[in-house]
A = this chain, B = another copy of it.
Amino acid sequence: MERLTAVYHLRVPAGSADARATGIAVEQSVEMPVAAVTDPAILRDIVGQVESVTDLGSGVFEARIGLSVATTGLEAGQLLNMLFGNSSMHPDITLADAEFPDTVLNAFGGPRHGLAGLRKMAGAEGRAMTCSALKPQGSDARTLALLAGRLSKGGLDFVKDDHGIADQHYSPFAERVPRIAEAMAANGKTIYLPSLSGHLEQMRSQVEIARAAGVKAVLIAPMIAGLATFHALLRDNPDIAFMGHPAMAGSGQIAPPFLFGKLFRLLGADAVVFANHGGRFGYSPATCRTLADTALRPWGTLDAAVPVPAGGMTLARVAEMLQFYGKDVMLLIGGDLLSAGTRISEEAARFQDEVVRHSEAL
């Protein structure tokens, strides 16, 4: 029976690391006293196995635990349940990483568009890409469409809905999305990513509305939608690119490089928005580097997911960010562009120009 390896970091006293690792192996598999498991096949194939416990220093131990692939049912929600469901309740345990056999990679399949597909979609071969966001929520469809047209006029590659824009009465999805898509198409060739919300049925109808309006990509927050919903939508809509938003991703109990760079990518995210260092959120440069590397590195037959550092970024940081991330990135600047008011097309054009220019120098 095939296993995946889940990697946990335990912040526990040295004397208890082995016992805690064994506890996790049981918790994340049979969840009952192993002595009471009588079926030898379950003891052999299903009960989690501690592969190693390593002292990483500073009071942190790495536990590598082999979990049965069969228990995941190769279903996205259950995969997360088996990796971290009950153990998420322990404040001294983080899910640092996981290594998956080909069975898992092939079952979920990864990005349908990925880095190469988004570049092609945007006409951005060989360079970094740009993205901005439509804000603030509370605006009506007409106002958002006006803003979208101005951003598109500036020549940006992508513009997404703010992740707080859902299907509210002041700007219903069915009214907003066609108007915004039309305004953007009339002013340029920027690709619009409307934000999906609700459950699978609601999101499916939102995708239909978006597709009918010529939309080629969408934004979704997988940790709010549920991973099963996220994966089902992706699989059923291969023509649409999916950008994953980090809402409800938590503050590190699931390591961001694993969550965004590996798990979201495995399930099919073509691009992953995450909190860049030095912005409004607390990720370190090292975490951001590892996250981007993980999203991009060769991984079986899976395409690369585009890292999208964001969260309080400014035009002043474009050169530095491209130095840090290289060309295989999409820079997302929202609020800072919007502060330009009526000069927003010019600011968007400056953002686009700087990204193109600095990309050439890389």
A interface residue numbers (CB < 8 A to B): 23, 27, 29-33, 35-39, 41-42, 45-47, 68, 70-73, 75, 77-78, 80-82, 84-86, 88-91, 93, 135-139, 143, 162-164, 166-170, 197-202, 221, 224-229, 231-232, 246-253, 275, 280-282, 311, 334-336, 338-339, 341
Contact = CB atoms under 8 A, between A and B. Distances in A.
Given A73-B168, A335-B33, A85 B163 contact: yes
The 4 A-B residue pairs whose C-beta atoms are closest, nearest first, are A226-B226, A85-B247, A46-B138, A30-B136
Contacts of A29: 136-137, 164
A166 B31 contact: no
26 contacts: A29-B137, A31-B135, A31-B137, A38-B341, A39-B136, A39-B143, A42-B139, A70-B169, A71-B137, A71-B168, A75-B166, A77-B197, A77-B198, A80-B224, A81-B166, A81-B197, A81-B247, A84-B248, A85-B163, A89-B251, A89-B281, A199-B228, A200-B200, A200-B201, A201-B201, A224-B226
Contacts of A232: 199, 201
A337 to B, nearest CB: 9
Contact of A88 (B70, B169, B251): B251
A30 B164 CA distance: 8
A351 to B, nearest CB: 16
Contacts of A227: 224
Contacts of A275: 89
Contacts of A38: 341
Nearest to A45: B138
A249 to B, nearest CB: 6
A138 B42 contact: yes
**Copies held by the complex:** 2
What is the predominant secondary structure among interface residues of chain A facing chain B? loop
A132 to B, nearest CB: 11
B91 A252 contact: yes
A281 B164 CA distance: 34
Given A31-B135, A31-B335, A78-B197, 6 more contacts: A32-B335, A33-B338, A41-B138, A81-B164, A85-B248, A89-B249
Contacts of A162: 31-32
A170 to B, nearest CB: 6
- Best-buried of A70, A84, A136, A202 by chain B (most CB within 10 Å): A136
- Best-buried of A46, A77, A93, A229 by chain B (most CB within 10 Å): A77
Contacts of A248: 80-81, 84-85, 88
Contacts of A32: 135-136, 162, 334-335, 338-339
Contacts of A39: 136, 138-139, 143
Contacts of A41: 138
Contacts of A86: 163, 246-247, 281, 311
Contacts of A249: 88-89
